[in-house]
Amino acid sequence: MNTVALVGLLATQWTTPPSLAAGDRVRVHVLHQPTLLEMPLPRLERMTFGGTLTFYEPDDSLALDRDKWLFSYPSPEHVGFHFIEVYRIDVPAGSDWLRGAAKGAGYAFAATVFVSFLCTVAGGGPEAAESCPFWANFGRFSLVTVPVGALVGSRFTRWKTVYKRELTPPRTVHQWNR
């Protein structure tokens, strides 16, 4: 059984394909049948590919040039898929600086809790905790972690899902009755 037929067994609900064009940056989630020594294995893997669309025909197929990372393992630069293998397509929706700043505030809070714990344990009890004011330490840590988190978050992309279809495993049919 080939990959397209096997993936077709898993499809339950289709949504309308998005209107995309060649040159759009996308992230494509597919069900892929791995091979071992050029022979297909009896399982499906979920894989994600990001890149620039080079060919897009809704309900038929799509192809994209993959993004290259600095230390990525050797992989093909140009990949193509039948549309039945695709279960989700995402498009960029801006940078993620706000989530990065929120994570920076979370790291500042965690560091403040840790320092307050150390002040209480190492200092000799609740009296020593007064010498380590919680909110003052949180403010000091936030001055560093929130801008760093926003800067790191601005380097990453937020994604918006424009196509999604639900998948269910194939039904098992027993050929005998017990």
Has residue 8 got a pLDDT over 50? no
Summarised one tens digit per residue, pLDDT across range 35-77 is 888 888 888 888 888 899 999 988 889 999 987 765 656 667 8
DSSP designation for 170 = P
**Higher pLDDT among residues 170 and 161, named by residue:** 161
Summarised one tens digit per residue, pLDDT across range 102-132 is 999 999 999 999 988 888 777 666 666 677 8
Q: Which H, E and C letters describe 144-163, residue by residue? A: HHHHHHHHHHHCCEEEEEEE
Q: How far is CA 81 from CA 64, 73, 87, 126, in A?
A: 9, 20, 11, 63
Question: Given CA atoms 170, 58, 4, 88 in this order, what sign does their dihedral have?
Answer: negative
CB 101 within 8 A of CB 153: yes
Domain positions in the chain are 3-95+158-164, 97-154
CB 56 within 8 A of CB 71: no
Summarised one tens digit per residue, pLDDT across range 151-160 is 998 888 888 9
Has residue 20 got a pLDDT over 80? yes
Gap between the terminal Cα atoms of the chain? 28
Under the banding of pLDDT at 50, 70 and 90, the label for residue 13 is very low
